[in-house]
Amino acid sequence: MLKLLRIDLGKQSYVFEKLSPEYAKLGGRALSSQIINREVPPTVDALDPRNKLIFAAGILAGTNFPNSGRLSVGAKSPLTGGIKEANAGGSAAQKMPKLGIQAIVLEGCADKLTTLKIDTQGVTFMQANSIKGMGNYQVIENLKQEHGDKVAIISIGPAGEKKLKAASVSVTSPDFHIRMAARGGMGAVMGSKNIKAVIIDDQGTKGVKIRDKEAFKSAVSKFTKGVLAYPMIEALKVFGTPVLVNMINALGCLPTRNYSIGQFDGAHKISGEYIAGLMADRPNSVSDHKCMAGCIIGCSNIFTDEKGEVIVSGLEYESIVLTGSNCMIDDIDTIAKINRACNDIGVDTMDVGAAIALAMEGGLLKMGDGNAALSLVKEIGSGSKNGLMLGNGCKTTGEKLGSKRIPHVKGQSLAAYDPRGLKGTGTTYATSAMGADHTVGNAIPNPLSQYDPSSSQGQWQISSFLQIYHAAIDSLGLCLFASLPALDFADLQGHVVQGVAALYGESLDKDYIKQLGISALKAERDFNTRAGFTKEDDRLPLFFKEEPLLPSGNVFDVSDEDLDKVNAF
């Protein structure tokens, strides 16, 4: 049975703790949310030592179940003031269970900037003065040189050290590219605890015990075949997540000029098809990079310049749109450089992209000026007045500039889908305990369904279903894209349940996935209610209801009554 690793940072002590009945057989988001709800005072300041930072591996992590290596990073959020789980690929979640660890709980605050190393010997506390103030890329290189290339590294950049509200947490892939647990300011919480990096070394371990190996092998085989047969998977292999740019632009829902219109004239220049063409001609570019061991899709990429120097990996849809079309920037190389700067400094490209658009509207820089946007992002690291404003996210930026059109819910920026045309996603933005987060329930139409995303009716049902489903997926540690086929083919969900049952060596209820998701959502809703959130916080900004989205003319017209039904479990 896997355990909690509790680390008291102030005392520099640790203990491996048997999972209590409340936490038993949970992982990922369900586990981190339960711990936060039960152990963190809901009204405490997010940067107070009484907040806890949790790194939780999914239930299937450490096994060869496809795409099961996502890491959940949880805490009370300094950005939203509520509960938060940010999610990343990489190696850390696959290594933790091999060390007997389901989750790492960081408690209190270290006296000095500290790096933790977790291996078969336990936990080692190391001073981090030599990497203080460093960006993530240099931190990773230094620690890799010191500790070898078999480890996983979780780290923060200067933004986390400065405790900026949009600060993110970096997690290394098997080949030491950066993946981000980007949303909600988890990097600020890590910085508030004086932790610069966590090194996880599973060398010398045996792996995860699977009780029924034959049943597990069967579940893996069936799930793999089903996922690879899904029509969209081949497009993801070829074009990656940027394949969505042209699709969402065609729907008229691509955030453009600070969510003022839904189509971007330069969309083709930032699309997955265009990027794939560039990468085909550029040395060292990789179009099907895998961010974790066991990935069967390879939807990420390694984007290089014309000389073959790596700019960033991966260059993904959300970052491209929020720092691209939303800011009227159509140069993909500039967008990639902005992405790299955000990764290095350690900030969320989405909240920062939304903040850049507000800065452009506010006259700090010209709309569409990519070079000026890149310079402003770099000021986050140097700590200028405008840089610090940007690093605290779009809500802070909009309020300081007196903007009346700030695209956020609960303090977190919207993702790269305009809610006036994709109203199920808009319902999720409004009602999620996490703030405006697409990964907790993104409702995008596909040819296999009859779903109408522009209707004002029925959106609460689809959002509620998706929020439950994705809470479960985040708890299992599964990649979102590997889990999408199971939305259309229920037998794939059965294979997931079969895999978990085989792992535990016991039977599970046929509604296991639903029950797992609801358990996470209930904990999150309970925490936020006790923190002071009400149904009035489950609303989109007024301009989405009043300003028609061009060219469709849609407004967000899902009723408040329907919004209030989403979380009525």
Length in residues, the chain = 569
Q: Are residues 285 and 317 in the same domain?
A: yes
Place of tokens 């996210």: 393
- Domains held by the chain: number: 3
d(C-alpha 190, C-alpha 285), whole Å: 32
Q: Are residues 311 and 456 in the same domain?
A: no
Strand, helix or coil for residue 311: strand
- Contact 126/115 with Cβ under 8 angstroms? yes
Pairing of strands 122-127, 114-119: antiparallel
Closest CA relative to residue 27, chosen from 333, 466, 386, 478: 478
d(C-alpha 522, C-alpha 421), whole Å: 29
| Encoded tokens for 102 | 């389901």
Residue 386 lies in a domain: yes
Q: Could you tell me the maximum CA-CA distance found in the chain, to the nearest angstrom?
A: 63
Half-sphere exposure of 533 (CA within 13 A, CB side): 25
- Give residue 359's Cα distance to chain centre: 24
Q: Are residues 99 and 246 in the same domain?
A: no
Does the predicted model carry a pTM greater than 0.95? yes
Q: Tell me 61's DSSP state.
A: T
Q: Are residues 33 and 119 in the same domain?
A: yes
448-484 pLDDT per residue, tens: 678 899 999 999 999 999 999 999 999 999 999 999 9
- Contact 217/224 with Cβ under 8 angstroms? no
| CA 434 vs CA 26, 128, 407: distances in Å | 19, 31, 15
Closest CA relative to residue 361, chosen from 256, 268, 270: 256
Element (H, E) at 16: strand 13-18
Residue 297 lies in a domain: yes
Residue 147 lies in a domain: yes
| Encoded tokens for 452 | 């109408």
| CA 376 vs CA 276, 285, 331, 332, 334: distances in Å | 28, 27, 17, 17, 13
Q: Are residues 260 and 405 in the same domain?
A: yes
What is the domain-level CATH number for residue 355? 1.10.569.10
Residue 124 — φ and ψ, nearest 5°? -115, 130
Residue 254 lies in a domain: yes
- Contact 302/285 with Cβ under 8 angstroms? yes
d(C-alpha 395, C-alpha 79), whole Å: 9
d(C-alpha 171, C-alpha 88), whole Å: 7
Residue 107 lies in a domain: yes
Q: Are residues 88 and 105 in the same domain?
A: yes
- Contact 272/245 with Cβ under 8 angstroms? yes
pLDDT band at residue 445 using 50, 70 and 90 as cut-offs: confident
Element (H, E) at 496: helix 490-504
Q: Are residues 154 and 297 in the same domain?
A: no
Q: Are residues 562 and 436 in the same domain?
A: yes
Q: Are residues 385 and 458 in the same domain?
A: no
- For position 231, what pLDDT does the model report? 86
Q: Are residues 439 and 549 in the same domain?
A: yes
Q: Are residues 437 and 357 in the same domain?
A: no
83-126 pLDDT per residue, tens: 999 999 999 999 999 999 999 999 999 999 999 999 999 999 99
Residue 205 lies in a domain: no
150-170 pLDDT per residue, tens: 999 999 999 999 999 999 999
User: What DSSP assignment string belongs to 344-410?
Assistant: HHTB-HHHHHHHHHHHHHTTSS-TT-HHHHHHHHHHHHHT-HHHHHHHTHHHHHHHHTT-S---EET
pLDDT band at residue 567 using 50, 70 and 90 as cut-offs: confident
- Contact 3/16 with Cβ under 8 angstroms? yes
Q: Tell me 20's DSSP state.
A: P
- For position 264, what pLDDT does the model report? 98
179-200 pLDDT per residue, tens: 999 999 999 999 999 999 999 9
Chosen domain end from 352, 379, 410: 410
375-425 pLDDT per residue, tens: 999 999 999 999 999 999 999 999 999 999 999 999 999 999 999 999 999
Chosen domain end from 410, 429, 457: 410
Q: Which amino acid is at 431?
A: T
Cis peptide before 541 (omega within 30 of 0): no
d(C-alpha 107, C-alpha 123), whole Å: 14
Residue 312 lies in a domain: yes
Chosen domain end from 388, 410, 432: 410
Strand, helix or coil for residue 191: helix
249-281 pLDDT per residue, tens: 999 999 999 999 999 999 999 999 999 999 999
- Contact 105/187 with Cβ under 8 angstroms? no
- Range of 123's domain? 3-200
d(C-alpha 564, C-alpha 569), whole Å: 11
Q: Going along 278-367, which residue ranges are E strands?
A: 286-289, 300-304, 310-312
What is the domain-level CATH number for residue 43? 3.60.9.10
End-to-end CA distance of the chain: 31
d(C-alpha 243, C-alpha 414), whole Å: 20
d(C-alpha 301, C-alpha 299), whole Å: 7
- Contact 332/275 with Cβ under 8 angstroms? yes
| Encoded tokens for 487 | 């939305």
Strand, helix or coil for residue 563: helix
Q: Are residues 65 and 32 in the same domain?
A: yes
Residue 276 lies in a domain: yes
Give burial (CB, 10 Å; 0-12/13-18/19+) of 212. Answer: middle
Element (H, E) at 189: helix 186-192
- Contact 154/55 with Cβ under 8 angstroms? yes
The mean predicted confidence, pLDDT, of the chain is 96
User: Which residues, 6 or more positions from 108, have their beta carbon under 8 angstroms from its beta carbon?
Assistant: 8, 9, 10, 11, 49, 193
215-253 pLDDT per residue, tens: 999 999 999 999 999 988 988 989 999 999 999 999 999
